[in-house]
Chains A and B, each alone.
Chain A
Amino acid sequence: MIAQTAPATHSPAAPPSPAVPKRRRRKPSLYRTLSRVLILLIVIVQVYPLAWLFLTSLRTEQDFATGDPFALPGSLTWDNYARAFETGDLGRNILNSFIVTMGANLLIVLFGMMAAYAIQVLGFRFSRFVRGLFLVGIIVPVQIALVPLFIDYSTVNLLDTYQSMIIPLAGFALPMSIYLFSSFFEYIPRETYEAASLDGAGPYRIFGLITLPLSLNTVVTVVLVNSIFIWNDFIFANTFVLSEDLKTIPLGLQNYIGAMGKVDWTATFAAVCVTITPLLLVFLVLNKAMIQGLESGATKG
């Protein structure tokens, strides 16, 4: 018995996927029903906490402290958001996260493309060794760099700067980016390069006129995937940044834990909602591209 051949009779909310051709029709089976229920349950587990987070940010403090956590809020209030903006400098935090994400992404894309071009297209005697060297960065945990970088930064006065976050974030993301660009460059036919070479184009012109424009899709993938991790980076920011002016979102959120661990939860949740909105919007708008990127990233390996 194959479940996937049965007709889809329910799930009205979901859009039909046009790519799936009509197959043989069979009666719904127990297996199908069970798997539907299981999927639904798992999706609830994944999504409900986030929905709850949002609902809580609209509750009154009173309601939150006493009520049943699953209950819908008795009355909705935007007060929490007002308090959230009073407590922290959310705008500043979002701006900082934006600067760091953009800076790191620029390095990751540009340098990733350049290194992949040198290794994959230009080629040189030790290219296999250099590729292996970059692979190390995929395996080692980022924590290894904290103590050395902290010491190095304090000798060259880089502590508490945007660069102190951007450098390690870009450095540790570089291997994956090189890997993605390399595997894309493999698909560009050699004849393209040879023809350009015969026309007298050197390596720089070929990079600018052929490789770069062709890789725009990969650029989108690399940027989207890395942005998730960089936007949410906690450990580098927490280690290297002290001043309020430079705090990114994850650090800004920590300000909501008051003295003696007392937390204004509803305001905190409001702040969380505000800070996850930018990335969430990008994700929801571009989720097709992002999902494709994540899928292609690993399956090519």
Chain B
Amino acid sequence: MLPNRSRTSVLVFLLPPLLLYCAAVLFPILQSLFLSFFSWNGISDMEFVGLQNYVRMLTADDVFWRSFFNALLYLAICLVLQLGGALVVASLLTSLRRGRELIKTLYLLPAVISTVAIAFLFVRIYSIDPVGLLNQLLHWVGLGSFERAWLSDVNTVLAAVSAPEGWRFTGLYMLIIYAALIAVPKELEEAAVLDGASKWTLFTKIRFPYIRPVWITTTIMATTYGLRGFDIPYLMTNGGPGQSSELLTTYMYKTAFTSTDFGYASTISVFIVIECLVAVGLILFMLKRKADS
């Protein structure tokens, strides 16, 4: 603490940021919580309905549950592509001696592109008429039977809208994991190699435990980003066909701004926040416990 600080100076520095933060983040969270107990379409009078919205959401709304499980699958696909892809590429990159910077830059490139542009791009990649990149590729490698309209097939659409999100940010996580990997002390690795450790043992016993704190951070980042995924499914399919690519976020958005059911949309929002908190708690619990054992 500074010796000459005064109470006023603390307030001068703290109040403006805190006010902005409260207005944009904290207050809306509380407001959502409040609204979730009401039925309101934005025009008529608000009507207090108690827990009715929650009961409806948890017991009577099939679309909600469908969206919830879709969102989990979406999250799983994003996590595999982002964290798995990031870990593999980062590990491979440490064995390169040249061109690391170039590859990092190229790999990060999709993160700079807006989601609207990515949605356009992938609509064309998945298209069947005229034949898009993916179907053409399948045709060439002799998997022509897999050719399909990826975005109108209810079995593939969820994976098809998840993949671009995974693709987009894998470079970001790769950078972070790579930075952690090259910080692993060389002496540790060399000592292990002298003891005859294989590449795999080296990775599981030396490198990975060493980067575990960073791994926890990236997992939390990727999970919270995955749970707030919205743009790409909303733009590419708007949740369709049917509800096969509906996520909780897109469902909430449509409930709020298409059906103007602000009360029920807030209930879903509250659920999303709880879901995020639970997810982060679970990650910390599981990864920390493993580290202790």
Binding site for B on A (CB under 8 A): 1-4, 8, 11, 13-17, 20, 31-32, 35-36, 38-39, 42-43, 45-47, 49-50, 52-53, 56, 64-70, 107, 111-112, 114-115, 117-119, 121-124, 130, 133-134, 136-152, 167-168, 170-172, 174-175, 178, 193-194, 197, 201-204, 206-207, 228, 231-232, 234-235, 239, 249-251, 253-254, 256, 265, 268-269, 272, 275-276, 279-280, 283-284, 287-288, 290-291, 294-299, 301
Residues of chain A within 8 A of B85, CB atoms compared: 42
Evaluate contact between A144 and B269: CB separation under 8 angstroms: yes
Given A147-B32, A250-B114, 6 further pairs, Cβ under 8 A: A17-B100, A43-B106, A143-B249, A250-B115, A275-B117, A299-B179
* Bitwise interface map of B from 4 to 24 toward A, beta carbon under 8 Å scored 1, else 0: 111001101110111011011
Q: A70-B136, A115-B18, A147-B35 are in contact. Are A141 and B224 (CB under 8 A)?
A: yes
User: Which residues of B from 103 to 134 have beta carbons under 8 Å from A?
Assistant: 103-117, 120-122, 124-125, 130-133
Evaluate contact between A294 and B172: CB separation under 8 angstroms: yes
Binding site for A on B (CB under 8 A): 1-6, 9-10, 12-14, 16-18, 20-21, 23-29, 31-32, 35, 42, 85, 88-89, 92-117, 120-122, 124-125, 130-133, 136-137, 167, 170-172, 175-176, 178-180, 183, 193, 199, 213-214, 217-218, 220-221, 224, 227-228, 230-231, 235, 249, 252-253, 256-257, 262, 265-266, 269-270, 272-273, 276-277, 280
Of A53, A70, A115, A206, the residue contacting B14 (CB under 8 A) is A115
Evaluate contact between B13 and A141: CB separation under 8 angstroms: no
Evaluate contact between B92 and A138: CB separation under 8 angstroms: no
Residues of chain A within 8 A of B224, CB atoms compared: 138-139, 141
Evaluate contact between B109 and A17: CB separation under 8 angstroms: no
Evaluate contact between A202 and B9: CB separation under 8 angstroms: yes
Q: A137-B25, A147-B256 are in contact. Are A8 and B98 (CB under 8 A)?
A: yes
Of B25, B124, B217, B262, the residue contacting A301 (CB under 8 A) is B217
Binding site secondary structure of chain A? helix
Chain B CB within 10 A, most for which of A31, A123, A143, A207: A143
Residues of chain A within 8 A of B262, CB atoms compared: 147, 151
Residues of chain A within 8 A of B270, CB atoms compared: 144
Closest beta carbon of chain B to A201's beta carbon, Å: 8
Residues of chain B within 8 A of A3, CB atoms compared: 95
Residues of chain A within 8 A of B112, CB atoms compared: 228, 232, 276, 279-280, 283
Residues of chain B within 8 A of A265, CB atoms compared: 124
Of B29, B35, B89, B98, the residue contacting A16 (CB under 8 A) is B98
Evaluate contact between A171 and B25: CB separation under 8 angstroms: yes
Binding site secondary structure of chain B? helix
Evaluate contact between A114 and B16: CB separation under 8 angstroms: yes
Evaluate contact between B214 and A298: CB separation under 8 angstroms: yes
Evaluate contact between B26 and A228: CB separation under 8 angstroms: no
Q: A147-B32, A151-B42, A231-B114 are in contact. Are A298 and B120 (CB under 8 A)?
A: no
**Contacts between the two chains (Cβ within 8 Å), count:** 310
Closest beta carbon of chain B to A162's beta carbon, Å: 14
Residues of chain B within 8 A of A228, CB atoms compared: 111-112
Q: A8-B97, A47-B106 are in contact. Are A146 and B253 (CB under 8 A)?
A: yes
CA distance A253 to B119 in the complex (A): 11
Evaluate contact between B5 and A203: CB separation under 8 angstroms: yes
Evaluate contact between A17 and B101: CB separation under 8 angstroms: yes
Residues of chain A within 8 A of B10, CB atoms compared: 118, 122, 124
Of B14, B28, B214, the residue contacting A149 (CB under 8 A) is B28
Evaluate contact between B107 and A122: CB separation under 8 angstroms: no
Of A16, A115, A136, A231, the residue contacting B25 (CB under 8 A) is A136
Of B199, B257, B266, B276, the residue contacting A31 (CB under 8 A) is B199
Evaluate contact between B121 and A298: CB separation under 8 angstroms: no
Of A8, A207, A235, A276, the residue contacting B113 (CB under 8 A) is A276
CA distance A56 to B173 in the complex (A): 29
A-B contact pairs, 13 of them (CB 8 A): A39-B92, A50-B110, A68-B136, A115-B13, A139-B220, A139-B280, A140-B273, A141-B249, A141-B272, A194-B3, A235-B230, A250-B116, A284-B105
CA distance A202 to B137 in the complex (A): 67
CA distance A172 to B199 in the complex (A): 41
Of A14, A121, A301, the residue contacting B213 (CB under 8 A) is A301
Of A20, A171, A291, the residue contacting B108 (CB under 8 A) is A291
Residues of chain A within 8 A of B13, CB atoms compared: 114-115, 117-118, 122, 203, 207
